Amino acid sequence: MLGMSRREFLLGSAATFAASSTTYAIAKNALSADLQLPLNYLSHEIVPGKITEHMMGFGIGGPAPTIRFKQHQTKTIDVVNNLREASIVHWHGLRHQNDMDGVPYLTQKPIEMGERFRYNVTSPDAGTFWYHPHCNTLDQMGRGMTGLLIVEELEDPGFDHDLALNIRDFRLGTDGQFVAMFKPRLAARGGTLGTVSTVNWQVQPTYDFPAGSLVRLRLAVTDVTRVGNYQISGADAHVIALDSHPVPQPLPASDILLAPGQRADVALRMPDKEGEVAELFLNILSGPRLMATFRSVGPSLGRSLAELKQLPRNPVKEPDLANAEILDFTFGWTPDGAEPLQSICGSLGYVFWSINRKPWLGDTPGPLDPLATMKLGKSYILRLRNNTPNDHPIHLHGLAFKLIRSDKRQLPPLFTDTALLQSGETMDVALVADNPGYWAFHCHVIEHQKTGLTGYLRVEG
């Protein structure tokens, strides 16, 4: 990007970009990556007895691999695009280098079919993160491309087991095959829900753990639409981290509200008797829906939740509220007459939403201007105003922000990368702009993201 202005980059100075990326590829190919992440088509039995065709995934054959590395380590990941369309991979929640963030046109060009791109993935924070495409996002995520990324604490907190739970729906018909990914009239409202709820691509899986052992459950809602309330019952359990950041006090695991993109780490103490179970439920209007079962096996290990070490705080800077500048963002309808732009990352064919009256589809070359520019090292309050009757999980790449206040409810003073902004709510969140770059800022209901509820913020380096 040296010698090139952002505007030139976004407009696509194709020749310059191609030349520099070729040099990069040759130099890096000398060494093999820590992990190969092929993007493939596949079939899988999600609903028992029915093979779902035309799925898209990471790796070969099944659900996306859970990627693990230690805090501050760097992992090289080669994404090889075996799809017949362009893609790109974003690492949700990582406060890393902008050019590894995986947003088309903003941080790199899309990875076209047959191409390979090497990501150097690293994180200053420990916790539960995830990864997904940011190109033709509704279709690619909808067909299966979502996986967990776990950054381990430098010091082991003392669990016996650690289980990633990739929680999401699929939109399948009674024959187990995909139905249309969305309905336009729902995309203009709360979004289109899936028809089959899964955990790790299974309907109501059961996991066995030693009786009386301590298990760290990592819940990640990677669904494109569903906001849900989750509950663990049948055993002692509490929430120890939300959206990868440890909570100061453990919270009850009976009322865990998770929107698309959000995560919760739960410390679970397995029941003492062989065959006893703990259960994960999703509470929906019609009642609790069983999502997964955790079953005790063998003699009790007799462990206690009190033996766990407190998770260390992540190195996120406290914003200086007294000197913070306020930046306003209004989430609303799109101005009349906005037309969807076509791009190699697909289009849903509609523009319904906008931020500050500017709709962006998130994966087209533009808009050329950031919604706001922040100075490196300064504190800001982002005033998020929801002018719509729907909820929007608002996500910011590359930075963590702190929940400050709402005009509707009491907010816990937690850091996050994705906050659920309720209908009609105005919420203040604050951050220190300590990571330079161009950071995507959007609703994580993918139908909203893809129909205008996307923009980006710039942190001047």
What residue ranges bind ligand C2O (CB under 6 A)?
90, 92, 132, 134, 261, 395, 397, 440, 442, 444
The interface with Cu ion within residues 92-131 (CB under 5 A) comprises 92
Query: Does 445 interact with Cu ion (rule: CB under 5 A)?
Result: yes
Closest CA to 401 of 351, 329, 342: 329
CA distances from residue 71 to 94, 123, 147, 151, 369 in whole angstroms, order as listed: 11, 6, 18, 6, 33
DSSP alpha helices (H): ranges in 360-455? 446-450
52 vs 98 by CB, closer to Cu ion: 98
**Is there a contact between 160 and 72 (Cβ–Cβ < 8 Å)?**
no
The interface with Cu ion within residues 375-434 (CB under 5 A) comprises 392, 397
DSSP symbols for 85-136: S-B-EEEET----GGGS--BTTTB--B-TT-EEEEEEE-SS-EEEEEEESSS
Shortest distance (Å) from residue 136 CB to ligand C2O: 14
Query: Does 242 interact with Cu ion (rule: CB under 5 A)?
Result: no
209 vs 456 by CB, closer to Cu ion: 456
**Is there a contact between 37 and 56 (Cβ–Cβ < 8 Å)?**
no
Closest CA to 244 of 309, 313, 320: 313
191 vs 271 by CB, closer to Cu ion: 191
CA distances from residue 16 to 87, 105, 107, 219 in whole angstroms, order as listed: 21, 14, 15, 42
89 vs 291 by CB, closer to ligand C2O: 89
220 vs 240 by CB, closer to ligand C2O: 220
Shortest distance (Å) from residue 206 CB to ligand C2O: 29
Shortest distance (Å) from residue 432 CB to ligand C2O: 21
Shortest distance (Å) from residue 331 CB to Cu ion: 7
Kindly state the number of chain residues that form the binding site for Cu ion, as judged by CB under 5 A.
6
Q: Is 272 exposed, middle or buried (0-12, 13-18, 19+ CB in 10 A)?
A: middle
Q: How far apart are CA 449 and CA 299, in angstroms?
A: 49
Please identify which residue in 171, 448, 450, 458 interacts with Cu ion, judged by CB under 5 A. Answer: 448
100 vs 268 by CB, closer to ligand C2O: 100
Residue nearest ligand C2O, Cβ-based: 92
Shortest distance (Å) from residue 132 CB to ligand C2O: 6
State the binding partner of 238 from Cu ion, ligand C2O, none, CB within 5 to 8 A by kind: none
Shortest distance (Å) from residue 134 CB to ligand C2O: 6
State the binding partner of 458 from Cu ion, ligand C2O, none, CB within 5 to 8 A by kind: none
Give the DSSP H/E element, type plus range, for residue 308.
none
- List phi, psi (to 5°) of 348: -80, -10
Closest CA to 308 of 389, 213, 374: 213
Q: How far apart are CA 459 and CA 370, in angstroms?
A: 10
CA distances from residue 388 to 141, 184, 453 in whole angstroms, order as listed: 25, 17, 12
103 vs 247 by CB, closer to ligand C2O: 103
Shortest distance (Å) from residue 440 CB to ligand C2O: 5
Give the DSSP H/E element, type plus range, for residue 243.
none
Shortest distance (Å) from residue 392 CB to Cu ion: 3
238 vs 392 by CB, closer to ligand C2O: 392
Residues of the shown chain interacting with Cu ion in the complex, contacts defined by CB under 5 A: 92, 392, 397, 443, 445, 448
